[in-house]
Amino acid sequence: MAGRLEGKRAIISGGSRGIGAAIARAYAAEGAKVVISSRKQPGLDAVAEAINADYPDSVIPMTCHIGYPEQIEEFIQQVEEKIGRPHILVNNAATNPYFGPMLQIEPTAFQKTFDVNVKGYFEMTRFVVQRWLANDEPGAVVNVSSVVGLRGAPFQGVYAMTKAAIISMTQTLSIELGEANIRVNAIAPGLVDTHFASAIVQNPDMSKMFTDKSALKRYAQPEEIAGAAVFLGSDEASYITGQTLAVDGGYTTV
């Protein structure tokens, strides 16, 4: 039986670990050819090697710091040369350099959070979509946001602002690009057991604050987020755009 992403080519930013690596594996398992990117080559190489051992020639690792638009432009050009124009862009790489009262964040941390989490997603999307439009081709963008973009988030305030901005970007782009058959959706994960969230997951009090508030009373493993990214990137979601799918164990319903 053909995979749900057979014949598709995808870019997944932040693919060297955590949710991005899990999405890359799920995409490969469904038949996609994937470029994973992040800042550091060794982590990317390890993930590509592990996935390619199970799904030969499915993953290509390439560095790209999404805080630098000029790197993004060159990266998108190189992806096209290596595998052809992608059909799916998964914007997943993000950062959170500060944890504490919102108004006490240093200006440099504020700037970095917006440069990577908002401008990075925006520029990745811009460079990919420009090529779809120029070639009159459809496409799908899947933005990894967060439940903190949907609710107040003490001690993660500025990061949460960037995640809310991604939901806004998703909605507006879906309207502006709909006629070109370019779909733009977002995923809002709850707490996930990754390096990114280790300060919360490994602190029993803080992790309990999240799990107590969620219907399933637990946090997620990265693989549990990947299915939504497969679905939204695939043709099964051909009539879905502008949506934010909470994959949060019911955190936003309790």
| Residue from 17, 25, 119, 213 in contact with ligand NAP (CB under 6 A) | 17
- 82: contact with ligand NAP by CB under 6 A: no
Candidates 55, 98, 121, 159; catalytic one: 159
Candidates 86-94, 128-136, 178-186, 232-240; binding stretch for ligand NAP (CB under 6 A): 86-94
159 is catalytic: yes
* Near ligand NAP in 190-219, by CB under 6 A: 191-192, 194-197
Say if CB 187 and CB 163 are below 8 A apart: no
DSSP state of 39: S
Size of the site for ligand NAP (CB under 6 A): 29
CA 49 centroid distance within chain: 21
Angle at 15 between CA 153 and CA 150, to 5 degrees: 20
- 67: contact with ligand NAP by CB under 6 A: yes
Candidates 3-11, 64-72, 134-142, 167-175; binding stretch for ligand NAP (CB under 6 A): 64-72
Say if CB 192 and CB 225 are below 8 A apart: yes
Q: Residue 240 contacts by C-beta under 8 Å, 6 or more apart in sequence?
A: 183, 185, 232
DSSP state of 117: I
Record the tokens describing residue 86, joined without a space: 């992608």
Between CA 228 and CA 140 the distance in angstroms is 13
- 249: contact with ligand NAP by CB under 6 A: no
In the complex, which residue's CB is closest to ligand NAP?
Answer: 18
Between CA 20 and CA 180 the distance in angstroms is 27
- 16: contact with ligand NAP by CB under 6 A: yes
Residues annotated as catalytic (active site), given as ranges:
159
- Which residues sit at the interface with ligand NAP, rule CB under 6 A? 13-20, 38-40, 43, 65-67, 92-95, 116, 144, 146, 189, 191-192, 194-197
